Amino acid sequence: MTNWKIGVIGFGNIAQALIGGLLKVDAISSDQVYVCSAHYDKCCANAERMSVHPCRTAEEVIEQSDLVILAVKPYQMEKVCVPIQKLLKEKIVVTVASKWNFDRFDEVLVSGTHHISMIPNTPVAVAEGIVIIEEKNSLSEDELNQWKALLNQIALVEMVDSDHMSIADTISGCTPAFTAMYLEALGDAGVKHGLTRAMAYRLVAQMLKGTGSLYLEQGKHPGAMKDAVCSPNGTTIRGVEALEKNGFRAAAMEAINAAMNKK
Ligand SMILES: NC(=O)c1ccc[n+]([C@@H]2O[C@H](COP(=O)([O-])OP(=O)(O)OC[C@H]3O[C@@H](n4cnc5c(N)ncnc54)[C@H](OP(=O)(O)O)[C@@H]3O)[C@@H](O)[C@H]2O)c1
């Protein structure tokens, strides 16, 4: 367990997922965490659920913390950071805001601030996440290693060059939504054929988890994983044909293209 006190400015969805995951695996204790949001009442309610310390201001969070996570919406980041620039200079600063890469953030912070940009996805909440970290950063080697060691307990951590942050973010950050749609669709099919909805969702969710784990552990080509389930003249290959006829793989790639085009 780290000795760092961790501050969060913007205790919304992703910050709660990140802190919730770290608490779940005992990588940190709730006593080490200080958080603030725009609305103090809401912050208190969320903080109480995790037994972390709610604070009234960003200044109070920074004062209590060694490492400060900035997790407000991208369009709010500059407005939130400018008044606290000088205080942040004394801390390790982590931003999780989309499109706030090192160079952009460096312009808003005081020169010499130790900072790093990263993008977690929501499964960090259950210690099954992904965290994409930008290679370009100004943390010391020891700070970076300590931070990565913490994150490794709840996520696959990948260091990515600045030019590929956007696609890595899309592949890991947008796809939980697409995958939830796949889960829902397969669940509907299960219900159509007589399963209860709860059981159908449970079966599909475990199948998704298991298929991912199989790939990560065995590293077989996805095509070989598909072939291993398709016997000659069998049932699965008919499903594969139906997916191909309906443009399944093209639809998945188009979804990524659509998300990238918006960026
Ligand atoms: N959600 C994801 O899957 C995801 C994944 C990776 C990265 N991100 C990034 O994470 C950031 C937050 O996204 P989110 O989905 O967690 O949004 P969110 O749930 O709306 O959280 C934003 C938080 O910022 C707080 N806030 C707003 N103005 C503030 C201020 N002046 N001082 C302190 N706190 C303030 C809000 O407080 P109130 O609730 O009181 O208004 C809220 O707690 C974004 O930059 C996004 O790009 C999100």
Asked if residue 262 has pLDDT above 90, the reply is no
The CATH homologous superfamily to which domain 6-160 belongs is NAD(P)-binding Rossmann-like Domain (3.40.50.720)
Asked if residue 1 has pLDDT above 80, the reply is no
CA distance 109 to 7: 17
* Of 161 and 263, more confident: 161
Q: What is the distance in A from the centroid of ligand 1 to the CA of 141?
A: 28
Question: The pTM is what?
Answer: 0.91
Q: What atom of ligand 1 comes closest to residue 77's alpha carbon?
A: 45
Q: What are phi and psi of 52, to 5 degrees?
A: -95, 170
Mutation pick for ligand 1 pocket among 16, 36, 65, 73 (CB with most ligand atoms within 8 Å) = 73
From 1.10.10.10, 1.10.3730.10, 1.20.1370.20, 2.40.100.10, which CATH number describes the 169-262 domain? 1.10.3730.10
Show the beta-strand stretches assigned E in 27-77. Answer: 33-36, 53-54, 67-70
Three-class secondary structure of residue 127 per DSSP: coil
> Using a 6 Å cutoff on CB, does residue 10 contact ligand 1?
yes
Give nearest CA residue, ligand 1 atom 33. Answer: 37
Could you report the per-residue pLDDT of 128-161, keeping only the tens digit for each? 999 999 999 999 999 999 999 999 999 999 999 9
CA distance 9 to 94: 10
Q: What atom of ligand 1 comes closest to residue 16's alpha carbon?
A: 16
pLDDT confidence bin for 2, thresholds 50/70/90: confident
> Using a 6 Å cutoff on CB, does residue 9 contact ligand 1?
yes
Question: What does the mean pLDDT of the chain come to?
Answer: 97
Q: What is the distance in A from the centroid of ligand 1 to the CA of 88?
A: 18
Please report the DSSP string for 138-193 in residue order: ---HHHHHHHHHHHTTTEEEEEE-GGGHHHHHIIIIIHHHHHHHHHHHHHHHHHHT
Asked if residue 126 has pLDDT above 90, the reply is yes
Q: What atom of ligand 1 comes closest to residue 42's alpha carbon?
A: 40
C-beta neighbour count of 244 within 10 angstroms: 11
Can you give the pLDDT at residue 222? Answer: 97
What are the structural domain ranges in the chain? 6-160, 169-262
> Using a 6 Å cutoff on CB, does residue 58 contact ligand 1?
yes
C-beta neighbour count of 148 within 10 angstroms: 17
> Do the beta carbons of residue 2 and residue 27 sit within 8 Å?
yes
